[in-house]
Structure 1
């Protein structure tokens, strides 16, 4: 909830970015905690263990690893955009950054 609050409440784009990162990390942690199985073994077939419920499901971990890669890529692109925005606009505050509507109608 902290990440969602930071994305909604703050007017600074860098603070929104930090909130987005916290939110993404919390979602990944949530899914990993849901996938934990007590008294489960690694999903490697072992002689003598025939019950499939005795194994952990590796799919949630693989999906969250993919989500981490996407999160890092998103963070890199967002930081590049924030650096460029600060260089062009001189600020990362929403109120001080002029949008495209400040230049007039498109097509001029």
Structure 2
């Protein structure tokens, strides 16, 4: 398959992720959209690495997956803490938590 197919799919996935972040108000959906954006970037890394026959893209993907897993763990812990205090996970109400 040509490289452009993979890059087109990656761009489509990234666009859906951006729309999810911008249009949704539920933090869990926002986290899923962020993960979709990370996976789109990973697909592009792997596609370029396979096209150029090097392993740099696959190695970089492992670092991105590790970072994404840490981001999800911390983000979900914050959402649970906010839900316990506010009894809601609406993003608009989270701005009231400032100092």
The reply to whether TM is greater than 0.5 is yes
Q: CA deviation at 1:71?
A: 0.8
TM-score by length of 2: 0.75
Corresponding position of 1:90: 87
RMSD: 1.8
Q: In the alignment, does 2:13 pair up with 1:13?
A: no
1:35 counterpart SS class: helix
1:3 to 7, 17, 32: 17
Aligned length: 85
Q: Matched residues in 2 for 1:97 and 1:57: separation?
A: 44
Unaligned runs of 5+ in 1: 39-55
Corresponding position of 1:81: 78
Q: CA deviation at 1:93?
A: 1.0
CA contact (8 A) 1:91 1:97 kept: no
Q: In the alignment, does 2:83 pair up with 1:69?
A: no
Corresponding position of 2:47: 33
Unaligned runs of 5+ in 2: 1-14
Corresponding position of 1:60: 57
